[in-house]
Amino acid sequence: MNVGQWTTIRARMAPDNPFVVCDDDGRAYTNAEFNLRVNRLANALPSLGIKRGDRVAALFPNNPEFLELLFAAGKIGAIMVPLNFRLAPPELAYILNDCGATVLFYTNDFAFQAGELTKLETGVESFIAVGGGNEGDTDYEEWISAFPETEPEVEVEASLDDPHFIMYTSGTTGRPKGAILTHGNTVWNGVNAVLAYSLSSEDSILVAAPLFHIGGLSAAATPVIFTGGRVVLTRFFVPDQAIKAIEKYQVTTMFGIPIMFLLMSMSDLFEKADFSSMRAMIAGGAPCPVPLIEKYQEKGVVFSQGYGLTETAPAVSALPEGDVMRKRGSAGIPLFHVELKIFDENDRELPQGEMGEIVTRGPNVFTGYWNMPEETEQALRGGWFHTGDMGRFDSEGYLYIVDRKKDMIISGGENIYPAEVEDVIHAHPRVADVGVIGMHDQKWGEAPLAMVVVMPDEEVTEEEIIAFTRDRLAGYKTPKKVIFVPELPRTPTGKILKKELRAQFLEDGDRSLVDRDGMGG
C-alpha cells in the first residue's frame, strides 16, 4: 500500500466522515468526496505527460488542493515538490531546475511569482492555476472536471520504497538540498506519531503551519490523516484566526513553532479563548520558553515538545506531556521506531552524558538528497543519518540539544544558512567580503547579521545592502543589521572564523548584538 491509497481506504471504511475543512472559504469534504477529487486529479496528471517518477511542483498556501496533489501523485507514483512561497523567483527557479519538474500548480496568491518564473529558465511546461491565475494558464477546476472519478489505472503501483515527495532545505554550501521522502517514511512517521501522541480518528488538527514545511505537512497533517481524523486548514497563519478556528471546529491538537504560540498568546482574543477541546499543542523547531508554556497551562493546555528534521520525516524524539516542566529544555526521548545515538568526530558512540553529534536511523529516515550523491553518502555514512546537531543524553535517557547545526540560523522556524545569504551579498558590486551570523531577535528568535567589507575607495550603506538582498532572497533571509568591518578573520585555508565574529559582535550565550569595537553600521 502506498500513501496515495490512504484516501481510497478512508472513503471505503468511513465515507461520510469529515476529511478536511478550509476555514478561509468554508469548503469541506468528506472522505468519499475528497477521494473522488483526488481520483480526478490522478487521472488528469497523465494528460500532461506525468508518469511514475516524474516531478510536479506546487506553489500553494494551506489549501485542500495541496493535499489533493499529494495523494494524487501518490496514487500514480509521481513525486510532489512543495515550494516555499516565501522564496524569491530566482530561488524557486533553481529548485524547479534541480528537481526537473515539468508542471507547476499555483494559486492566485502567487500569480506574480508564477508569471516571473515564465521569464526564467525552469523547465516547467504547464502552469495550472487554482482560483484564477495568469492569462493562458490552465484553470484547475475546469481541467480536472473533464476526467473520471474512478480509481486511476497504473501499470505498477508505487511501493513504500518509492519517492513520494521532495522537500527542499537550505544547503550549507548555499545550494538548497532536496530531501527525498518515500511513501514508507510517511507511513512510519504516522505510526510513530500515533504512539507518541495517542492520535485517533476522533482528533481534529489545526494546520496553520505551512504545508510546504515538513512540520506543517508531516508533523501536523499526515499523522492525523493516517489515523482517520479531520484536518482543519488555514491558508496562512493569523493568530486571531487560529484561536477562532480552535473554538469553531473543536480542534484537539495543533503543531506549531514557538513564535506561532507566542503570537497567539499576545492576541486580544487569548484571555477569553475557549481551549477546552485541546488535548495538546505540539511544539517544534525550537525549545518553548517556560513562561509561554505556563501561560498556556493556565488555560488548561499542555505542550508536547519534540525534535526532528526534514530528512527524518520529521520526528525522532518527543517530550512526554508530563515531563514538559520536569525536563524543560529537553527534546524528549526517542520515538518507538527510531534509534538515536551520540557520536564523536570519528563516528564512535559516546557514553551517556557526553556531548557529540546526534545520529539516527530507522524507517522514517530519508533515502538521500536529490542529485547530490556525495552529500547523501556523507550524511548517511555508516548507515546512520548524521544530523549535524550536537547533543547529549542525561541519566534518564532524555535528549538535550546543546548546539545547532554549525552556523545555521533559525528565524521563526525557518532554517537560514549563512552561505546562501553571503553568496547574494557578494554579488553586490561594491562588496569585497562578507560574513553572516545569527543575532538574537526578540520576535523571531534569531535574524541574520551581516559583516561587510567594502571595496577600496567605495561607499555603500546598510540600507543599500538590505535592499539588495531583499530583491534576491526571501524576506526572512534578509539581514536585519549590517556592520561594516575592515576585514574578516579567516583560517589559513580561507574559511571565515564565525566563532571569532560571534565573540566580537555578540554577547556570549544569547547572540544579542554588542558593538565591542564601535564599528556598527
How many beta carbons lie within 10 A of that of residue 325, not counting itself? 12
467 Cβ contact partners less than 8 Å away, ≥ 6 residues apart = none
125-161 pLDDT per residue, tens: 999 999 999 999 999 999 999 999 999 999 999 999 9
Distances (CA, A) of 370 to 172, 311, 380, 519: 15, 12, 14, 42
The phi and psi torsions of 318 (rounded to 5 degrees) equal -150, 145
Going 504 to 509 to 513 to 516, the CA torsion angle's sign is negative
Query: Are 60 and 105 in contact, with CB atoms under 8 Å apart?
Result: yes
Lowest average pLDDT, out of 11-15, 65-69, 304-308, goes to: 304-308
- pTM, rounded to two decimals: 0.85
pLDDT band at 230 (very low <50, low <70, confident <90, very high): very high
What is the pLDDT at residue 225? 98
Grid cell of 86 as nine digits: 516565501
Mean pLDDT of 416-440: 87
> How far, in whole angstroms, is CA 263 from its chain's centroid?
19
Residue spans of the domains in the chain: they are: 3-304, 409-505
Q: At CA 421, angle to CA 418 and CA 424, rounded to 5?
A: 150
Q: Report how far residue 92's alpha carbon sits from residue 457's, in angstroms, rounded to the nearest whole number.
A: 36
Cβ burial, residue 486 (10 Å; 0-12/13-18/19+): exposed
Q: Report how far residue 132's alpha carbon sits from residue 146's, in angstroms, rounded to the nearest whole number.
A: 18
Query: Are 318 and 281 in contact, with CB atoms under 8 Å apart?
Result: no
SS3 396: coil
69 Cβ contact partners less than 8 Å away, ≥ 6 residues apart = 41, 56, 58, 60, 80, 105
Query: Are 414 and 381 in contact, with CB atoms under 8 Å apart?
Result: no
Distances (CA, A) of 113 to 55, 58, 83, 133: 19, 12, 11, 11
447-497 pLDDT per residue, tens: 999 999 998 889 999 999 999 999 899 999 999 999 999 998 875 445 678
Grid cell of 208 as nine digits: 496553520
Query: Are 323 and 330 in contact, with CB atoms under 8 Å apart?
Result: yes
Residue 168 predicted with pLDDT over 60: yes
Q: Report how far residue 363's alpha carbon sits from residue 367's, in angstroms, rounded to the nearest whole number.
A: 10
What is the pLDDT at residue 517? 39
Most confident of 289-298, 398-407, 442-451: 442-451
Residue the block writes with cell 510517511:
186
SS3 434: strand
What is the pLDDT at residue 494? 56
Q: Report how far residue 33's alpha carbon sits from residue 437's, in angstroms, rounded to the nearest whole number.
A: 49
The 3-class SS string of 259-314 reads HHHHHHHCCCCCCCCCCCCCCEEEECCCCCCHHHHHHHHCCCCCEEEEEECHHHCC
How many beta carbons lie within 10 A of that of residue 36, not counting itself? 16
13 Cβ contact partners less than 8 Å away, ≥ 6 residues apart = 31, 228
Query: Are 42 and 86 in contact, with CB atoms under 8 Å apart?
Result: no
3-304 sits in which CATH class?
A: alpha beta
Mean pLDDT of 401-407: 69
415 Cβ contact partners less than 8 Å away, ≥ 6 residues apart = 169, 170, 408, 409
373-403 pLDDT per residue, tens: 999 999 999 999 999 888 899 999 999 987 5
490 DSSP assignment: B
Q: Report how far residue 46's alpha carbon sits from residue 124's, in angstroms, rounded to the nearest whole number.
A: 15
Residue 175 predicted with pLDDT over 80: no
Grid cell of 353 as nine digits: 552524558
Residue 518 predicted with pLDDT over 50: no
What is the pLDDT at residue 509? 45
What is the pLDDT at residue 375? 95
Q: Say what percent of the chain tops pLDDT 70.
A: 94
Q: What is the third-level CATH fold of 409-505?
A: GMP Synthetase; Chain A, domain 3 (3.30.300)
40 DSSP assignment: H
How many beta carbons lie within 10 A of that of residue 87, not counting itself? 22
β 431-441/445-454 pair status: antiparallel
Encode burial over 289-298: b for 16+ CB neighbours within 10 A, e otherwise.
eeebbebbee
Q: DSSP per residue over 26-38, as a string?
A: --EEEHHHHHHHH
**Rg of the Cα trace of the chain?**
23
SS3 140: helix
Grid cell of 197 as nine digits: 501522541
Q: Report how far residue 449's alpha carbon sits from residue 504's, in angstroms, rounded to the nearest whole number.
A: 13
What is the pLDDT at residue 519? 36
